[in-house]
Structure 1
Amino acid sequence: MLIKNNAAQSVRTSTLKKIMFLMTFSILPLTHVTASELKVEPYSVSQGALKKNITEQQRKIMIGANKLAELPDQLSGKANTHIRGTTLNKTESTAQAKSSITTQKVSNHYDQDFEIYSATSFLQDDYDRDGYYQTFSVTFDADVYSYSENHLAEVYALLYLSKNGGAWQHYFTTDNFLIEGDTDADEYEVISTFMSGYDSDHYDVLIDLYQVGYEGIVASFSADDSNALYALPLESAEYDQAYVEVIEVVEVIEVRQTHGGSLYWLVLILLSSLLVRVKRH
């Protein structure tokens, strides 16, 4: 009897070890996937231009190009994940080194005052209908006030995101563009699509304006200045899968009467025969 009990206990122990072994190897792939997800970099693609030069058709083309882009801005030099206030020498020097888009001499910004007068935002593309968007645009109107007759300035902007009130992270640097006085004809629009690494959350936007050829921020505008840049519900593409509506199809089999009702009477006779057999049993 003792031998039998020992044998049974040995079998149970062996079975338990096998179960634990299988469970361990079943969990490993899940652990690997979770770790991989945690290492996803924040990648985005943006395009910018003067708003007056963007038609609705061109806007759709730009959004489509963003989604098909293979190289995100974080790898092309148009963006990085630096925190605002840290050195952005590479980004700034790239923008400053570009050729001037005007032949008129740009005066020192100490002779001019700059201001971002207003900004707006637009949300687009929420495929899973959860209220969070993977594509959005930011439009801002920068003005320049001069103490001389020169009311033109060549500028560029750095755009930042703050996730749910967190640190400001750089996500795009515009090309150089001209602004003139306080006209709104020089409004600049940046259309962005989140490719990966952005959780479904609320993001604030901040814009820093620079004058080409000079260091230092000349004007800023953020969610503190306008609700249009506050708490934008955004997420990257991996969280915004297309919503597919499943429609249940119920097949109805209908018995139709044929000529003279023969099929109807045939079915009735068969049912009667079955009832008679049941009664006999």
Structure 2
Amino acid sequence: LFDVDTNFISADVYAVLYLSLDGGPWNEYAETETFTIFGTSATDEYGLVTELMAGYPTGSYDILVELFDDYDNAFLTSFGPDETSALAFLPLEDFEFDVPIVPVQVVVNQGHGGGGAMDRWFLSAFILLLLSSGLRRIWVRRNDGLVRIDSPSSGWKDHTEHQNRFKQ
């Protein structure tokens, strides 16, 4: 995608694109059809999509764009890696290295309801186990507390008898 400007109201131009493998010679690989540019308008952008299917070895490529006047084929300007790093050292690899995209199959089971890692019966048994364990702890704590309050230890009895002796 590039946007070319002109000092005139409009101009008909075409572009020739070149590739350079690892700093080697420039080789033409594409030419656009004629397109019109309008002064300094940003609405006259031109985009070119290319697929290099065969005959281009793996490596780093530079891209050069040359612009020509469609009326007399006069060279107008060029734009490449010397003007922007966006057109320099572009990696290109053989499409044979690409892993084919395999569609993912998604299976949705709408049958038995399922509950994730636990079914209803296991979850119910687990909750009952937790409740019974919790109730047992509460009952033991309450009963232990009652035993401590209602029946003092033998040392406590001896101490009260000792206090009663001094009161008389």
Deviation string, structure 1 residues 233-256 (Cα, Å, up to 9, x no partner) = 113434x332689xxxxxxxxxxx
Supply the AA of the counterpart residue of 1:228: A
Q: Which residue matches 2:30?
A: 172
Q: Which residue matches 2:4?
A: 142
Higher helix content, 1 or 2: 1
Secondary structure of the corresponding residue to residue 86 of structure 2: helix
Secondary structure of the corresponding residue to residue 191 of structure 1: coil
2:45 to 184, 187, 200: 187
Gaps in structure 1 of 5+ consecutive residues: 1-138, 246-281
Q: Which residue matches 1:229?
A: 87
CA distance in 1, matches of 2:89, 2:42: 25
CA distance in 1, matches of 2:16, 2:94: 20
Secondary structure of the corresponding residue to residue 214 of structure 1: coil
Matches within 5 A, 1:108-257: 139-146=1-8, 151-238=9-96, 240-242=97-99
CA distance in 2, matches of 1:236, 1:197: 10
Contact in 2 for aligned 1:144/1:179 (Cα 8 Å): yes
Deviation string, structure 1 residues 152-191 (Cα, Å, up to 9, x no partner) = 0000000000111111100100011000011121111111
CA distance in 2, matches of 1:244, 1:209: 38
Supply the AA of the counterpart residue of 2:3: D
Q: Would the alpha carbon gap of residues 242 and 181 (structure 1) be closer, same or farther in structure 2, given more than 3 Å must change?
A: same
Secondary structure of the corresponding residue to residue 77 of structure 2: strand
What's the TM-score, normalizing by structure 1?
Answer: 0.35
Q: Kindly indicate whether structure 1 or structure 2 has the higher relative contact order, using CA contacts under 8 Å at least 6 residues apart.
A: 1
Matches within 5 A, 1:20-59: none
Contact in 2 for aligned 1:194/1:236 (Cα 8 Å): no
Instruction: Tell me which stretches of 4 or more aligned residues in structure 1 moved more than 6 Å.
Output: none
Secondary structure of the corresponding residue to residue 64 of structure 2: strand
Larger Rg: 2
Supply the AA of the counterpart residue of 2:26: W
Quote the sequence identity (%): 38
Secondary structure of the corresponding residue to residue 185 of structure 1: coil
Contact in 2 for aligned 1:196/1:237 (Cα 8 Å): no
Gaps in structure 2 of 5+ consecutive residues: 103-168
Matches within 5 A, 1:40-119: none
Q: Would the alpha carbon gap of residues 200 and 153 (structure 1) be closer, same or farther in structure 2, given more than 3 Å must change?
A: same
